[in-house]
Chain A
Amino acid sequence: MDRLEGMSKLTGEERYTDDLELEGFLWGMTVRSPSPRGTIREIRFDDSFDFSSCVVVTADDIPGPNEVRLIEVDQPVLASKTVRHVHEPVLLIAHESRDVVRRAVRAVEVVVDEQEPVLDYRKAPNPNQIQHSTDNILKRLEITKGDVDAVFRDADHVVEGIYETGAQEHLYLETQGMIAWVDADGVVTVKGSMQCPYYVLNSLKHTFACDESRVRVIQAPTGGGFGGKEDYPSMIALHAALLAVKAGRPVKMIYDRNEDMASTTKRHPAHVSYRTAHDSDGRLLAQDIDVRLDGGAYVTLSPVVLSRAIIHAGGPYACDHVRIRGVAMLSNSVPYGAFRGFGAPQTLFATERHMDRAADQLGIDPVQIRMVNLIRDGQTTSTGQLINDGTDRQKVLQQALDHADYQNKRKENRAFNLTHPFRRRGIGVAMFYHGAGFTGSGEVYLESKVRVAGLPDGRIEVLSANTEMGQGALTVFTQIASAAVGYEPDDIVIAEPDTFRVPNSGPTVASRTTMVVGKLIERACEDLVRAVGGDSDTRGQSLCNAIRAWHQANPGAQLIGEATYTKPPGIDWDEQTYKGDAYGTFAWAAYIADVEVDLRTCQTTVRDFVACQEVGRVINPTLATGQIQGGVVQAIGWALSEECIWDRGAMANAQMTNYIIPTSGDVPPIRVIFDENPYEYGAQGSKGIGELPMDGPAPAIANAIAAATGSDVCRIPITPERLMANMGLCDVE
Chain B
Amino acid sequence: MSNDTSRLSIELTINGESRTVRIRPQDRLLDLLRESLGLVGTKEGCGEGECGACTVLMDGLPVNSCLVPAFQARGRTIETVESFDSEKLIHFLRSGMTQCGACTPGVVVTANWIRANPELADSFSLRELMAGNLCRCTGYDGIIDGLSDSMNEDRGGSCCKS
Contact = CB atoms under 8 A, between A and B. Distances in A.
Q: Decide whether A and B are members of one complex.
A: yes
B138 A173 contact: no
A12 B82 contact: yes
Contacts of A634: 136, 139
B14 to A, nearest CB: 13
A624 to B, nearest CB: 10
Contacts of A9: 98, 101, 104
A16 B98 contact: no
Interface in B67-103: 80-82, 84, 86, 89, 92-103
A640 to B, nearest CB: 14
11 contacts: A7-B86, A9-B98, A11-B81, A11-B86, A12-B42, A170-B136, A626-B141, A632-B139, A663-B130, A664-B127, A667-B140
Interface of A: 2-3, 5-7, 9-16, 18-19, 96-97, 99-100, 170-174, 221-226, 256-257, 469-472, 622-623, 625-626, 628-634, 655-657, 661, 663-667, 669-670
A150 B39 CA distance: 69
A497 to B, nearest CB: 15
Contacts of B53: 173
Given A99-B2, A629-B141, 5 more contacts: A18-B44, A97-B2, A223-B100, A664-B130, A670-B141
Chain B interface residue bracket vs A: 35 or more
B28 interface: no
A664 B81 contact: no
Given A15-B40, A16-B43, A664-B127, A173 B139 contact: no
B62 interface: no
Contacts of B63: none
Q: SS class of chain B's interface: helix, strand, loop or mixed?
A: loop
Contact of A10 (B39, B43, B98): B98
Nearest to A254: B44
Given A257-B48, A664-B127, A470 B94 contact: no
B92 to A, nearest CB: 5
B29 interface: no
Given A12-B80, A223-B101, A665-B131, A173 B136 contact: yes
Nearest to B103: A173
Interface of B: 1-2, 39-48, 50-51, 53, 80-82, 84, 86, 89, 92-105, 108, 125-128, 130-144
Contacts of B89: 7, 10-11
A657 B49 CA distance: 9
Given A632-B139, A667-B139, A174 B98 contact: no
Tell me which of B39, B51, B139 has the highest count of chain A C-beta atoms within 10 A of its own C-beta. Answer: B139
Q: Which of B51, B95, B131, B138 has the most CB of A within 10 A?
A: B138
A263 to B, nearest CB: 16
Given A174-B102, A256-B47, A669 B141 contact: yes
Given A15-B40, A174-B102, A629 B134 contact: no
